[in-house]
Amino acid sequence: QVQLMESGGGSVETGGSLRLSCTAATDTFRCMGWFRQAPGKEREGVATIYTGGDITSYRNSVKGRFTITHDKAANTVYLAMSDLKPEDTAMYYCVADRLDKPGFGIGDCNPGRVDMPYWGKGSLVTISS
């Protein structure tokens, strides 16, 4: 059973910073990332990283503010978030994919892929104005 263990959520004021962590306890994945869902809105991809070469991809609204990184030894992905805004308030979900199905590759590791097969339970991030 795949386990993605998230930590690091919390509440900060506008302009503050937080760092989310996600450890894959039982497997390794070629693609890991973060999605988020704000109240009353659909889930949206935030950032992904192709762990084979640390190739990253971000949604436009977080570029320059969020940084996704991967620690291979710890099998952990991090999302460092800075200059946080009230519109960043959401439940943040760690996602992962082995990309081992025929036809799947590095191009499928991107924030637009809402059908990522594995999801964590979520970590709440609240930004107050």
Question: HSE (CB half, 13 Å, CA atoms) of 62?
Answer: 26
User: Which band of pLDDT confidence, cut at 50, 70 and 90, is reported for residue 69?
Assistant: very high
Q: Cα separations (Å) of 7 from 20, 79, 101? A: 6, 10, 29
63's CB contacts (< 8 A; 6+ apart) are none
Whether 31 contacts 50, CB under 8 Å: yes
Residues 93-126: tens digit of each pLDDT: 999 999 998 999 999 999 999 899 999 999 999 9
Please report the pLDDT score of residue 4 as a whole number: 95
Whether 12 contacts 128, CB under 8 Å: yes
| pLDDT value at 2 more than 90 | no
Please report the pLDDT score of residue 1 as a whole number: 82
Please report the pLDDT score of residue 26 as a whole number: 84
